[in-house]
């Protein structure tokens, strides 16, 4: 398929510095897929609140990603946007807010993420009553699931349909649920739904063991990776933090701790980050540092794009979709 106008534009004008890295990374991602490699996309920050689902959902539908790692916030905030979009408020002048202004937002039930406020009642609480029932049913039946599996159950059950406020095709979580795409959610406890689940455990309403743990996510990934790495598995990292650091470690874990010395390194690596290389920063570490940790090979194609992921990721995805 020939490239569309967006792809043609970036090929013509994105010729140097970070813009050139964007094009190089997109072409290498495309080549990975052409070679039969699988691709992991890791997603940190507030990409779901930034509505990455508008394009990432199509990446999922077209099988250009095969496994996702994301924070608990991204897992839930895509669904929150699905059911409460009209209640979100944008605050373009967020840099000028005083502490009193911030307090006033809290009093109105608005939780700010940079320039966007998530409505607590319509988003968090609307999901809470439905997800609790699914948690409780599993708990009563002695069943255990991963955080994303509970979310899939809620989405596919149809209980949220009455609340939909955006086109369903723009929800990346719904697209992933339809494909039963594997998702790794390290540190899920550090999310609104994770906090809510913990509160039910404290009150004695649920057992902590009903929710499968981060260790079990790593065990799952340690089984998935060897089965899917025949032609390589690439790693496309949006942002930094645990969403990237957790899953990328499966390779050195299998090699060093499981002594699987034939396990292949990640076959591609790209990170979009605005973090700088300083003070022991992981998010700002250059890709070559990962060679010393047994994550990447000397010959692994490596890219780092030092820019805003909300600008860069949609452009790379557009290129992959021939837009």
CATH of the domain at 153: 3.40.910.10
Its domain, for residue 275, covers 5-87+121-320
For 150-201, write each residue's pLDDT tens digit.
Answer: 999 999 999 999 999 999 999 999 999 999 999 999 999 999 999 999 999 9
Note whether residue 162 is domain-resident: yes
Q: How many domains does the chain have?
A: 1
Dump pLDDT digits (tens) for 198-226: 999 999 999 999 999 999 999 999 999 99
Beta-bridge partner residues of 145 = 211
Q: Is residue 230 part of a domain?
A: yes
Paired residues of 274 in beta bridges: none
SS3 112: strand
Has residue 108 been placed in a domain? no
Inside any domain, residue 103: no
Q: Give the pLDDT of residue 150.
A: 98
Query: Does 94 map to a domain?
Result: no
The angle formed by the CA atoms of residues 239, 167 and 163, to the nearest 5 degrees, is: 100
Residue 106 belongs to some domain of the structure: no
pLDDT of residue 275: 75
As beta bridge partners, residue 184 has 69
3-state class of 298 per DSSP? coil
Within-domain flag for 199:
yes
Token pair in block for residue 96? 């000028």
Q: Is 210 part of a structural domain of the chain?
A: yes
Secondary structure (DSSP) of 255-323: IIIS--TTPPPBSEEEEE----S-TT-STT--GGGGGTTTSB-TTS-EEEE-S-HHHHHHHHHHHHTT-
- pTM of the full structure: 0.96
């Amino acid at each position: 398929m020939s490239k569309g106008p967006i792809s043609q534009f970036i090929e013509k004008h994105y010729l140097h510095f970070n813009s050139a890295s964007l094009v190089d990374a997109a072409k290498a991602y495309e080549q990975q897929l052409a070679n039969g490699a699988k691709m992991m996309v890791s997603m940190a920050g507030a990409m779901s609140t930034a509505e990455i689902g508008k394009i990432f959902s199509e990446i999922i539908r077209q099988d250009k990603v095969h496994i996702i790692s994301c924070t608990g916030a991204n897992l839930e905030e895509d669904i929150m946007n699905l059911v409460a979009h009209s209640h979100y408020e944008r605050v373009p002048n967020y840099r000028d807010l005083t502490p009193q202004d911030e307090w006033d937002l809290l009093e109105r039930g608005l939780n700010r993420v940079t320039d966007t406020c998530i409505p607590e009642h319509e988003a968090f609480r609307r999901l809470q009553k439905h997800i609790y029932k699914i948690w409780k049913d599993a708990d009563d039946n002695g069943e255990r699931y991963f955080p994303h599996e509970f979310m899939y159950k809620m989405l596919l059950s149809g209980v949220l349909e009455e609340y939909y406020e955006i086109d369903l095709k723009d929800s990346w979580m719904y697209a992933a649920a339809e494909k039963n795409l594997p998702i790794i959610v390290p540190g899920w406890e550090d999310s609104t739904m994770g906090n809510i689940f913990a509160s039910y455990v404290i009150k004695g309403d649920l057992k902590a063991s009903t929710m499968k743990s981060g260790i079990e996510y790593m065990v799952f990934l340690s089984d998935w990776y060897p089965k899917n790495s025949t032609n390589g598995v690439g790693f496309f990292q949006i942002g930094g933090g645990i969403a990237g650091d957790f899953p990328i470690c499966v390779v050195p874990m299998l090699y060093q701790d499981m002594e699987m010395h034939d396990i292949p390194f990640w076959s591609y690596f790209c990170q979009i980050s605005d973090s700088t290389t300083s003070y022991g920063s992981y998010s700002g570490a250059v890709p070559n540092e990962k060679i010393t940790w047994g994550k990447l090979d000397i010959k692994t194609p490596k890219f780092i794009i030092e820019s805003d992921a909300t600008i860069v990721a949609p452009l790379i995805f557009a290129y992959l979709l021939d837009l």
